[in-house]
A and B are shown apart, each in its own frame.
Chain A
Amino acid sequence: GENVGLHLPTLSVQEGDNSIINCAYSNSASDYFIWYKQESGKGPQFIIDIRSNMDKRQGQRVTVLLNKTVKHLSLQIAATQPGDSAVYFCAENMGGSEKLVFGKGTKLTVNP
């Protein structure tokens, strides 16, 4: 896909391991955060979201952690599978607006 490039942070893990993808966001006024997954040649796909009044939210095999003190967001994927290989983006929603601003992305490769 167009997003995959030499300049993306990369993470390589073994199948079955847990993965942690990190993201630093820019605006302390952001009140809503989303993680998206983008497979090669496809559009971004929603994974999980979290509001600024929470510090943790769990989904199926995924957990998002929010640390507002240091403006840091992480996505944890449990028991990573080859199908999890993709580029992962965090996005923040500026308070009072519907705009979603995306980070640069992290490329996750899962080795069988």
Chain B
Amino acid sequence: DAGVIQSPRHEVTEMGQEVTLRCKLISGHNSLFWYRQTMMRGLELLIYFNNNVPIDDSGMPEDRFSAKMPNASFSTLKIQPSEPRDSAVYFCASRLHGATSGELFFGEGSRLTVL
């Protein structure tokens, strides 16, 4: 079975440009989490959804960041405008809401560099 699929794997952009990161959930999963990873701050939860509904977005840094789930199997994380401090690896992870195990299944990440 395919795991969580993220794209692009790498993106280099210039400050001020819009960045869109994409994530496809594992089939049958209905909870989606976006994390950001940096050397200084480690893995930080940005936002998570259950059944396409955002439940907690308290980790979203500021209004430049937005996340959506246009359908049950797909999510986007958008940064507009991007800044150099947004450079990080962005992971999405999915799970089955209400499952006994709290295991999150992570994608391979999208490495963003903002110049």
Which chain A residues have a beta carbon within 8 Å of chain B's beta carbons?
A: 1-7, 32, 34, 41-46, 49, 89, 93, 97-105
Contact = CB atoms under 8 A, between A and B. Distances in A.
Given A42-B108, A98-B31, A32 B102 contact: yes
A100 B89 contact: no
Interface in B71-109: 88-89, 91, 93, 97, 101-109
B38 interface: yes
A69 to B, nearest CB: 23
Interface of A is mostly: loop
7 contacts: A2-B109, A7-B39, A41-B108, A98-B48, A98-B55, A98-B102, A99-B48
B111 interface: yes
Nearest to A2: B89
State the 10 A-B residue pairs at the shortest beta-carbon distance, nearest first: A43-B106, A5-B39, A2-B89, A102-B43, A46-B103, A104-B42, A44-B106, A43-B108, A32-B102, A2-B37
Nearest to A3: B37
B45 interface: yes
Contacts, number: 66
Question: Most chain-A CB neighbours within 10 Å: which of B4, B33, B104, B108?
Answer: B104
Contact of B42 (A1, A3, A42): A3
A93 B102 contact: yes
B108 A49 contact: no
Contacts of A34: 102-103
Question: Most chain-B CB neighbours within 10 Å: which of A7, A98, A101?
Answer: A98
Contacts of A100: 33, 45, 102, 104
A98 B39 contact: no
